[in-house]
Amino acid sequence: MPQANPLRLLNAAGQSVWYDNIQRSMLSSGMLARLIAEDDLRGITSNPTIFEKAIAGSGDYDEALRRELQRAPRQSSRDLFFALAIEDIRAAAEALRPTHDATDGVDGMVSLEVSPDLAHDVGGTVREARELFARLALPNIMIKVPGTVSGLRAVERLIAEGVNVNVTLLFSVERYVAVAEAYLRGLEQRRAQGLPLERVASVASFFVSRIDTALDPILAQRRPELQGKIANANAKRAYREYLNIFAGPRFAALRAAGARPQRLLWASTSTKNPAYPDLLYVDNLIGPDTINTMPPATYAAFRDHGAVAPTLERDVDEALARLAALPDLDIDLGAVTDRLESDGVRAFVESFENLLAAIEAKTRVLGL
Sign of CA dihedral 119, 121, 122, 126: negative
Amino acid at position 301, single letter:
A
Strand partners, 266: 206, 292
Note every long-range contact of 218-223, with CB atoms under 8 Å and residues 24 or more positions apart, other chains counting.
218/329, 218/331, 219/329, 219/331, 222/329, 222/330, 222/331, 223/325, 223/329
Q: Indicate the SS3 state at residue 174.
A: helix
Give yes or no: 144 in active site.
yes
Cα(287)–Cα(133) distance, rounded to whole angstroms? 30
Closest-CA residue to 46 (of 175, 135, 166): 166
- Per DSSP, the three-state class of 258 is coil
Q: How many CA atoms within 13 Å lie on the side-chain side of 33?
A: 7
Assign 3-class secondary structure to 42-97.
CEECCCHHHHHHHHHCCCCCHHHHHHHHHHCCCCCHHHHHHHHHHHHHHHHHHHHH
Catalytic residue among 144, 229, 236, 362: 144
CB 293 within 8 A of CB 18: yes
CA distance 216 to 356: 35
Whole-Å CA distances, 233 to 228, 267, 278, 288, 328: 10, 15, 17, 17, 17
Q: Counting every residue, how long is the chain? A: 368
Amino acid identity at 62: D
Separation CA 16–CA 10 (nearest Å): 7
Residues labelled catalytic:
144
